[in-house]
């Protein structure tokens, strides 16, 4: 296998992660996450699918222009137009990669591609050669490799490597694999393909059976030297292998893996929080590594053991993944320069002084309400400010909500619609219901509310609440996120942001819809 002195971490949060229903990110949000991934020392950032839309193309290009310490990659089907568009997007990168793919399982070749195996091999070779004419770093993926025939995988991979592919990815696209079987597949490929030593073998596992991380680790044990994963395991359907779990499993069990990643693990928790805030996908409390309960011990026996010797019940240090390192950082007496400096340390940078001033004003207002300001609060302030700067059809001016025992809750809101102010009122079963009904009495969006979720950003009764609202209309799903120390105001912000996303429209082509 091609020499690799470490396990390459290929992060696809900005591409596959974005395919989670409602997780679409704009260019500025993708840039914020990309900068945190660079700080995390991710080897490869898959920034998007350049041909999917103009927005995707611009996001990939912007990331390629900004990121210097990670390879920036764009996905492309095995089509000339996809590859050329990807090449254009990653051209500004200090290190650029084109990731091209074609389906290799019998079911996909027959029903999706409607191509014979010989035609698939021919197209794969042509795609890899075209990609190599643009960049030196080309990755080739066998889509649905988990259900592909081993002999055909050997054949097409050998041809792809001969054509110039430097990384070969074996995706378990539908989450079908079982660890022992998947590990054996990787072992067989490495042993049977004559030129396997000329490429790094990679895996990309989905979590449909809850085995994405287990399958990825089995592949690493069998010789894979790149793992494709996402922050928080974000991804379509049940998600992808979690970056944080892969990295910490390999680092914690060096006795088994004998190879490590280059990840700076102290940035794992901040990266997790940022992705959660931007996408509106909360992290479950019992999520490994980054969940709120990951290092919490309620059992008296466990508490006693940890106090006597941490390693009795903890196999990792919380500080090593970013917990407890972001305690109080700023307060109500902190100045503008300290505020700006801490934001830069968190990878947050505003494009204009107006945005910075708006964020600082929000910070001061929050500091008057909260004694302690944490990094998570600053992330929320930044997200809220950037959302406000985005051009949206709807906006919240002010609101008044009445909730009293024995009285039907009422909400009165003043909203802007295309710049004009309107005041509306409504009653509801609760203050949030009344708020949403008041908004709908004006906009009549025709949306279905699929999810309403509330999470505290930090601890304490004075914590900011973060609300996620998921709306669906005509098959399109969006997530709106709002934060405030008043949960009703946060709810209104989230609902309005979701409405703005629906109104903005925009069509992205799914990367697995092939028109070969």
- Give the position of tokens 């079982």: 178
Choose the weakest-confidence range: 158-167, 296-305, 382-391, 437-446.
296-305
Closest CA to 233 of 288, 295, 174: 288
pLDDT value of residue 299: 42
Q: Do residues 313 and 255 share a domain? A: no
Q: Do residues 382 and 339 share a domain? A: yes
Average pLDDT over every residue of 404-431: 95
CATH of the domain at 451: 3.30.160.270
CA distance 297 to 342: 31
What single-letter DSSP state applies at residue 227? Answer: E
Query: What is the enclosing helix (H) or strand (E) of 422?
Result: strand 420-427
CATH of the domain at 143: 3.20.20.70
Do residues 275 and 13 touch, judged by C-beta distance below 8 A?
A: yes
In a domain, 284, yes or no: no
Choose the weakest-confidence range: 221-235, 265-279, 290-304.
290-304
pLDDT value of residue 326: 43
Q: Do residues 309 and 366 share a domain? A: no
pLDDT over 60 (residue 507): no
Q: Do residues 234 and 246 share a domain? A: yes
Q: Do residues 228 and 371 share a domain? A: no
In a domain, 467, yes or no: yes
Q: Do residues 499 and 352 share a domain? A: no
In a domain, 3, yes or no: no
In a domain, 299, yes or no: yes
pLDDT value of residue 291: 87
In a domain, 288, yes or no: no
pLDDT over 50 (residue 441): yes
Bridge-based pairing of strands 407-417 and 420-427 is: antiparallel
Q: Do residues 145 and 190 share a domain? A: yes
Q: Do residues 80 and 179 share a domain? A: yes
Domain of residue 316 covers 295-326
Residue 464 pLDDT level (bands cut at 50, 70, 90): confident
Choose the weakest-confidence range: 62-66, 132-136, 288-292.
288-292
pLDDT value of residue 297: 44
Mean pLDDT, the chain, as a whole number?
A: 89
Give the CA count within 13 Å in the CB-facing half-sphere of 462. Answer: 9
pLDDT over 90 (residue 342): no
Point out the domain boundary residue: 213, 248, 279: 279
How many distinct structural domains can be found in the chain?
4
Winning range, highest mean pLDDT, from 102-111, 340-349, 359-368, 459-468 = 102-111
Choose the weakest-confidence range: 46-50, 389-393, 454-458, 508-512.
508-512
CA distance 255 to 258: 6
pLDDT over 80 (residue 465): yes
Q: Binding site for Mn(2+): what residues are annotated? A: 16, 204, 206, 240
Average pLDDT over every residue of 16-20: 91
Q: How many residues does the chain have?
A: 516
Average pLDDT over every residue of 424-438: 97
Q: Binding site: what residues are annotated? A: 16, 204, 206, 240
CA distance 223 to 210: 22
User: What's this model's pTM, rounded to 2 decimal places?
Assistant: 0.84
pLDDT in tens, 117-129: 999 999 999 999 9
Q: Do residues 130 and 236 share a domain? A: yes
pLDDT in tens, 343-387: 877 767 777 888 888 888 888 888 887 767 777 788 778 877 766
CA distance 98 to 88: 10
Q: Do residues 316 and 228 share a domain? A: no
Q: Do residues 104 and 226 share a domain? A: yes
pLDDT value of residue 34: 96
In a domain, 213, yes or no: yes
Point out the domain boundary residue: 370, 389, 408: 389
Do residues 286 and 293 touch, judged by C-beta distance below 8 A?
A: yes
Query: What is the enclosing helix (H) or strand (E) of 35?
Result: helix 27-39
Point out the domain boundary residue: 279, 314, 340: 279
Average pLDDT over every residue of 229-235: 97
Residue 324 pLDDT level (bands cut at 50, 70, 90): low
What is the layout of strands, in order, in the sheet containing 420-427?
394-404, 407-417, 420-427
Q: 3-state SS string over 94-151?
A: CCEEEEEEEECCHHHHHHHHCCCHHHHHHHHHHHHHHHHCCCCCEEEEEECHHHCCHH
pLDDT over 70 (residue 275): yes
Q: Do residues 438 and 385 share a domain? A: no
pLDDT value of residue 378: 82
pLDDT over 60 (residue 310): no
Average pLDDT over every residue of 468-493: 92
In a domain, 441, yes or no: yes
pLDDT value of residue 301: 44
In a domain, 474, yes or no: yes
């Amino acid at each position: 296998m091609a020499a690799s002195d470490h396990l390459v971490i290929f992060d696809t949060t900005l591409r596959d992660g974005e395919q989670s229903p409602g997780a679409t990110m704009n260019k500025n949000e993708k840039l914020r996450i990309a900068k945190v991934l660079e700080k995390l020392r991710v080897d490869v950032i898959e920034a998007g699918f350049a041909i999917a839309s103009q927005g995707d193309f611009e996001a990939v290009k912007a990331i390629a222009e900004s990121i210097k310490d990670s390879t920036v990659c764009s996905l492309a089907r095995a089509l000339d137009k996809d590859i050329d568009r990807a090449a254009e997007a990653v051209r500004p990168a200090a290190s650029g990669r084109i990731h091209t793919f074609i389906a290799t399982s019998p079911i996909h070749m027959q029903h999706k591609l409607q191509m014979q195996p010989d035609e698939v091999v021919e197209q794969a070779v042509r795609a890899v050669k075209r990609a190599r004419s643009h960049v030196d770093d080309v990755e080739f993926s066998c889509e649905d490799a988990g259900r592909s025939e081993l002999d055909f995988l050997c054949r097409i991979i050998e041809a792809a490597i001969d054509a110039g592919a430097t990384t070969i990815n074996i995706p378990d696209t539908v989450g079908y694999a079982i660890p022992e079987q998947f590990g054996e597949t990787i072992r067989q490929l490495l042993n049977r393909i004559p030129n396997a030593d000329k490429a790094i073998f990679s895996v990309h596992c989905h979590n449909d059976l809850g085995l994405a991380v287990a399958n990825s680790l089995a592949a690493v044990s069998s010789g894979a030297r790149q793992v494709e994963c996402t922050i928080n395991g974000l991804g379509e359907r049940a998600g992808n292998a979690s970056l944080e779990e892969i990295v910490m499993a390999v680092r914690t069990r060096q006795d088994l893996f004998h190879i490590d990643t280059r990840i700076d693990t102290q940035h794992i928790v901040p990266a997790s929080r940022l992705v959660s805030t931007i996408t509106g996908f909360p992290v479950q409390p019992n999520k490994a590594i980054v969940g709120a309960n990951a290092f919490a011990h309620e059992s008296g026996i466990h508490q006693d053991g940890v106090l006597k010797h941490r390693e009795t019940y903890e196999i990792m240090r919380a500080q090593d993944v970013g917990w407890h390192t972001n305690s109080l950082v700023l307060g109500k007496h902190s100045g503008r320069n300290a505020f700006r400096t801490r934001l830069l340390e968190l990878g947050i940078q505003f494009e204009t002084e107006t945005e910075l001033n708006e964020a600082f004003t929000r910070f001061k207002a929050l500091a008057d309400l909260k004694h302690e300001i944490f990094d998570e609060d600053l992330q929320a302030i930044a997200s809220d400010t950037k959302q406000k700067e985005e051009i949206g059809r709807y906006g919240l001016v002010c609101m008044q909500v009445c909730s009293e025992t024995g009285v039907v809750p009422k909400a009165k809101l003043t909203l802007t619609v295309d710049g004009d102010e309107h005041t509306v009122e409504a009653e509801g079963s609760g203050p949030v219901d009344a708020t949403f009904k008041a908004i709908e009495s004006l906009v009549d969006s025709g949306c279905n509310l699929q999810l309403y979720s509330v999470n505290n950003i930090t601890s304490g009764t004075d914590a900011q609440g973060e609300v996620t609202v998921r709306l669906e209309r005509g098959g399109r799903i969006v997530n709106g996120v709002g934060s405030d120390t008043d949960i009703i105001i946060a709810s209104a912000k989230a609902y309005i942001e979701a409405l703005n996303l629906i109104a903005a429209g925009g069509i992205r082509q799914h990367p697995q819809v092939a028109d070969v």
